[in-house]
Chain A
Amino acid sequence: MAKDMTSGYEPLTSIEAITAGLAEVGYISTAQISTAVYLAHGLRKPILIEGPAGVGKTDLAASLGRWLDLPIIRLQCYEGLDEGKALYEWKYGKQLLYTQILKEKLNELIGEADNLSKSLGKLADFEDLFFSPQFLEARPLLNAMQQDKGSILLIDEIDKSDEAFEAFLLEVLSDYQVSVPEIGTIRAKVPPIVILTSNNVRELGDALKRRCLHLHIGFPDHVREQRIVRARVDGISDTLLNQLVRFVQSVREADIKKRPSIAETVDWARTLLLLHSSSLDEQFVRDTLNVLLKHESDIAAISPHIPRMVREAIGTDSGGRTASGYPDLG
């Protein structure tokens, strides 16, 4: 860890520091999440994050980057993603353009040589010139290796890429180096903190899993979700916050296709705030349910239970919370 003197990872000194630092930039962490980040730094291993959509997998990387003030380099995976898009590419157009511009110069130079082998030798010199870092287009992976103070490398939705790409990632992730045949091996100045996310579209290979720390982020509990919504939505009253989170939590327990994620809770909270509602009420919930649930069948499944769920969300509300000094926008 002595090598980190110049890197931007210094704040990662303890698990508490990570939790506090992430909270500064509005990311409410859990013990598991902070531990994973701490270990990722300490063991120099990538973190593989799994979990349902919209629970803050990608956001963790973004928040880390904001807190540590490091560049976030994102590689979005998709079927057919290959080395050229992920690692590096030769600037073919530029190479070609240069040869065209230098055509005459080249002719002169080659013209000077008196025989074929000599001119071939001269040409070979230029080839090295054209395959130099100057013509190298750094894609996310290479880019992340070249950051002076380290970086957060986010490899998003790795499960959408092909197996071949996954295998290719292994080299990059285990040694933090990439080999470019024409130039040689490029080693990371400061290894990036790598975060991979997966929605489990397909099972990832064991080899990749073995190289990563595994973190599962599930739906948050009541307290954490309240804190998250508070951090994201300005000026929400305690009453409403408490009620709506309780409502969302009970919706998640129902048997529906797509359970609402944190992102949807936040959207819903903003919606209710815009509508100036100060507490949940059946009609409001009915009107805005489409913010929370994204499938027609889910809305239909929940609708008959709305009166009961709203009653439960409001009914068990403890009187103490409501009496706070938060401004009521309603």
Chain B
Amino acid sequence: MERQISNFIRALRSADVKVSTGEALDAARTVAMIGYGDRALLKDSLACVLAKSEAEKDVHDKLFDLYFAASNQRSSAQSEAGEREDSSEDGESGGQDAADAAEQMIALTQPGNEQALATAVERAAEAAGLNDIRFSTQTAYYAQQMVRAMGGEALQARLLEALQRSGAEADADAQRMIDARRALTMAARERAERAFEVFGAGETEKFRDEVAATKRLTALEAHDMARMKLLIAKIAKRLAVKHSRRRKKTSRGILDVRRTMRANAGYDGVPFNVIWRQKKKDRPKIVAICDVSGSVAAYVRFLLLLLYSLKEVIPDLHAYAFSYRLGDVSGILEENEFDGAMKKILREFGLGSTSYGQAWSDFKTDHETVIDRRTTILVLGDGRSNYGDPRLDLFSGFAGRAKQTIWLNPEGPGLWGTGDSVIPRYAPYCKQMSHVATLKDLERALDEILTSYS
């Protein structure tokens, strides 16, 4: 396959666009059909073949412009390279001294030689393996390597020599070489930065994603929050896919003899209408109760984000929030974007002093009917009740009515039961009590919930 296209695919892969071998072959066939001539057409075609989602299309278009801007110079440079190669090889084999190489480099930086300079930079980039660049911190290193590949050492030697000589002519010579060296370094740096955009940016982003996934939720800065939101959406989507597969279990293939016979009694028992046995599916419900009081202030955004994304995955979710009083927030979550929903919920219920006892009794009076034997109760909170009555009688009542109760706690197990935490007293009624402080914890916990939701 052609180098140009295979390198482009490498660039795409490093930017998180998944390109399979089959697609790479398709790309090669596409290029064979379309040609390199019409850039806009090539861009549309490759976007069609290689990028498989809207996000990937954006990445593809960005990279295409970057990559083919660079490779344009390369291909026009290659035609000249042929001639130049001869001369430089002659120079080496002929035992020519470093002076000529240095002289050549200086000539490159003179105005009017831009094309030759671009050629030299491209060749140096190849020699230095610039395409392996991964992090922005590497640009300086690669720029240095490229200058060396262009013959920087010879220039350096000549420069030292010139500096040792004295006289106005030598000074001017030295200055000339210093200027040339700077110009070359700049060109190399620029090229390295562009290569980083193409081959490296994706890696950095991946790296950042990994960090965000393991970072503790409270320690996240504001600008990480947007990324986090995307991650949760990703997780939610993944779970939705898994979960829809679980729910979908039809049982075709087992004959329901009784119903078949009854249905075909009119046909003299000849089974024209065949009826298959079907498994009855429970339509399960999730009731999520979220603590938004002062003690979880640091986590509240995360808890609500979780509640919000759950609502997206499970449309028939009943969501409640409380700090002192408890209320239904399903409507708010449904009607608003996340930020708006959060503000509304916090204004109505938020950040007061906690009373789990009061919340349970509110729940008991107003909403208890939503709990039946198919319900999973999901509590998000730290179980710190300001030394109030935890109303275990009510909680155990709910837990008893429901299919199962799951508690997600942003505090680590080490803190459970310290101070006003009454978690250990609630724990016996919960099927599962999980510590959720990072996205990884959350992913695991959510997966467990949805497994039991099937």
Classify chain B: how many residues form its interface, as a range: 20 to 34
Query: Residues of A contacting B272 with CB < 8 Å?
Result: 92-93, 96
A163→B241 contact, CB < 8 A: yes
Residues of B within 8 A of A (CB): 18, 20, 22-23, 26, 29-30, 33, 40-41, 44-45, 47-49, 51-54, 57, 237-238, 240-241, 244-245, 248, 250, 252, 270-272, 274, 335
The CA of A45 and the CA of B33, in the complex, are separated in Å by 14
Nearest CB of B to A87, in Å: 14
Query: Residues of A contacting B30 with CB < 8 Å?
Result: 39, 42-43
Q: Determine if A132 is an interface residue (Cβ-Cβ < 8 Å).
A: no
A31→B23 contact, CB < 8 A: no
Q: 4 other contacts beyond A35-B45, A42-B33, A214-B52, with CB at 8 A cut-off?
A: A15-B41, A35-B44, A202-B237, A206-B52
Nearest CB of B to A46, in Å: 12
From B26, B57, B250, contact of A80 by CB (8 A)? B250
Q: Determine if A286 is an interface residue (Cβ-Cβ < 8 Å).
A: no
A100→B270 contact, CB < 8 A: yes
B248→A210 contact, CB < 8 A: no
A202→B241 contact, CB < 8 A: yes
Closest chain B residue to A84, Cβ basis: B252
Query: Residues of A contacting B250 with CB < 8 Å?
Result: 80, 82
Closest chain B residue to A163, Cβ basis: B245
User: Which residue of A32, A45, A92, A213 has the most chain B CB atoms within 10 A of its CB atom?
Assistant: A213
Nearest CB of B to A109, in Å: 20
Query: Residues of B contacting A66 with CB < 8 Å?
Result: none
Q: Determine if A216 is an interface residue (Cβ-Cβ < 8 Å).
A: yes
Chain A interface, DSSP helix/strand/loop, else mixed: helix
25 examples of A-B residue contacts, CB within 8 angstroms? A31-B41, A32-B48, A39-B48, A42-B29, A43-B26, A43-B30, A43-B49, A50-B53, A80-B248, A82-B252, A92-B274, A96-B271, A100-B270, A162-B244, A202-B237, A202-B240, A203-B237, A203-B238, A203-B241, A206-B52, A210-B23, A213-B48, A214-B47, A214-B49, A216-B54
Query: Residues of B contacting A216 with CB < 8 Å?
Result: 54, 57
Query: Residues of A contacting B26 with CB < 8 Å?
Result: 43, 45
Query: Residues of B contacting A215 with CB < 8 Å?
Result: 48
From A39, A212, A213, contact of B33 by CB (8 A)? A39
Chain A interface residue count, Cβ-Cβ cutoff 8 angstroms: 33
Query: Residues of A contacting B22 with CB < 8 Å?
Result: 210-211
Nearest CB of B to A302, in Å: 17
Closest chain A residue to B244, Cβ basis: A202
The CA of A79 and the CA of B247, in the complex, are separated in Å by 11
Indicate whether A210 sits within 8 Å of B41 (C-beta atoms), given known contacts A43-B29, A80-B248, A82-B252: no
